[in-house]
Structure formats: structure tokens, C-alpha cells
Structure 1
Amino acid sequence: MNAAIHEFTAERLAGGDQSIGAYAGKVLLIVNTASNCGFTPQYEGLEALYQRYRERGLEVLGFPCNQFGSQEPGEADEIASFCQKNYGVSFPMFAKIEVNGDDTHPLYRYLKKAAPGLLGSESIKWNFTKFLVNRQGEVTARYASATSPEAIAGDIEKLL
């Protein structure tokens, strides 16, 4: 059971590469994040989901991105400090990436193709777009920025 999503790697916020394959058999909620966005308080809800469901197999993976309104200008240490200090983030955070355009991270290229947005559009519209991945590594849903983490809890429970 090695789904295509498990073939990707990404750099951790603290440095070093992390294989997404290390999360095989887990339910994943993958989110592009930003520290200076109107949706930034969703970090609190994402952390609450992680605390509530991680023992049952949920991993929340945060990918900072500065492509929307330059709302993630900080360096890795600033992002890590902000997330910890303001929201107590303990779920895995990755290095800043691009989610649209020529330099789109390969993981996000895959996610967007697997779960297009409205009217089949693949581009990410804003910070805190969320992708839900089942234990088999299949992308099961894509949620808009405005969808609160709490609103996804029922879908997560079905996959756990």
C-alpha cells in the first residue's frame, strides 16, 4: 500500500527532509498556512483537531506559504516561534513552499490535481486551503480557506 502521495518528501521547518511516506497508514490534513492572515487563528482549530485525533491516527501537516498577500514573510525560526508562542502548534510544520505557479512544490502539484477546487480549478485560492487524505493515501476532500477546522471534524472521524 504505497500510494503516490507517500513518494513525496518535504523539508521540515526545523530543517532536514521528511518523507510523506513516514505518515503512511495515517489520516492527513495538509494545510498551506500563513502567520499574518485573517485565517491565521485557524492554527488554534488545527491544533485542537491534532490533539483530539492524533492518538487515533491523524496527522496535521502545515506548509507555510508567502504567495497570498505576502502574509508569511518570516524565516523558518520566526514562523516556528510565532506558531508555538501564539497557538501552541505541535503538529509537524514544513519549510515555506509555493503552492501555485512554476515553483509549486511537487506535493501540492499532486494534491491540486487529485482534488481540484470549484469548477475544476486546480490553483490554490488563499492561505489555509485544506486537503484531507485517507489512510490509503488517497485525497478525499479539499476545503476552502473559510472552512473552519472544526467543520472538518466529522469527515476526519469517518476516516479514522
Structure 2
Amino acid sequence: MNETKELQIVKLLKDKNPDGMKLLLYHYKPFIYYIITPILPNQDDREECISEISIQIWEKIRLFDSEKGKFLSWFTAFVKNTALNYAKKNVKYDGYEDINVLKDIVSSDILTPEEIILKKEREEELLNAVNKLKKQVRLIFYRKYYYMQSTEQIALEFGTTVRAIEGKLYRIKKQLRK
């Protein structure tokens, strides 16, 4: 989607025009599913989460500032965080999922100022290192560790084997540790 269309959707949402939400869901619903499916494997949970995302976007769209970044980046982080929070609050233990893993993912520990600075520095170093990777390698990294896509799905989309993707991920992690 082009940036003009994104900004049109944002303007409609900020003006509290329901057409903005319709356009957002029309253009981004598949993308939302792409992000939340690894976090919420149950279809009913995904549907409820999409409703929650819609409500939250409607209420918090004013927080988006086009001067600070692109809408897609903000939207992606918003959707992912909303899904993680939804999972933490609503996913029931069914013997197959460990709710403690979700709690660790969405941990709400309060950081000291020093820890915040160190965390930000580590994130900047990691981002710089990731940006130095070749485009295809960077895409694999983001799909696995940011969008939490399965190795099998990545292999399928790149037309290669799971083993090849696992090898690339191993080499990526090794390179980023340097």
C-alpha cells in the first residue's frame, strides 16, 4: 500500500470517521492475521483479538505521529503488542500451552534508568547489525524473530528446505553475536 493511502486512513481514523476503520481492516486484515497467528493459534482467540485491535486503534490512533516514523512500523508493533497482551490475559491453559512462557514474553518488570539506557543501547547495536545483513538474510531474521513465523512457513515462502533456513538462522545468530 502506498504512503498516501496510509495517511488517508490515518486521517480518517483521527477524525473518528468509521470509513477509516473499514479501509484499515480491508487493507490490513491479512497482515494482522500474519502477525497474530503465531501468537494466538486458536481461531476464536484471533477473531477476538482483531476486535480488540480495532477498538485500541480507534482509541489510540492519536498516538501515531508521521514525523516519528511510518504508519506500517507503528501499526505492526501495535498489533504485535496487542496480541501478546491479549494472549497474556485471555489464553487458557489447555495442557499444551504454558502460560508462563507467555508471561515471560510480556513481562511487565519495571526497569531502572540504567537498565533502560543499556537496553536501548543493545537494541540500537542489534538494529545496526541487522541492517548490515543482506536483504534476503534480513527478511528471514525478521520473519523468524519479529513476526514469529515458523521455520517451516519461511522455508515454504522462500522455496527452500527447513534445514536450509535453520542453517541460515544459525549463521545469522552467530554473525550477530560478534
Give the TM bin, normalised by the shorter chain: under 0.3
Which has the larger helix fraction?
Answer: 2
Identify the structure with bigger relative contact order (alpha carbons < 8 Å, sequence gap 6+).
1
TM-score, normalised relative to structure 1: 0.26
Larger Rg: 2
Which has the larger strand fraction?
Answer: 1
TM-score, normalised relative to structure 2: 0.24
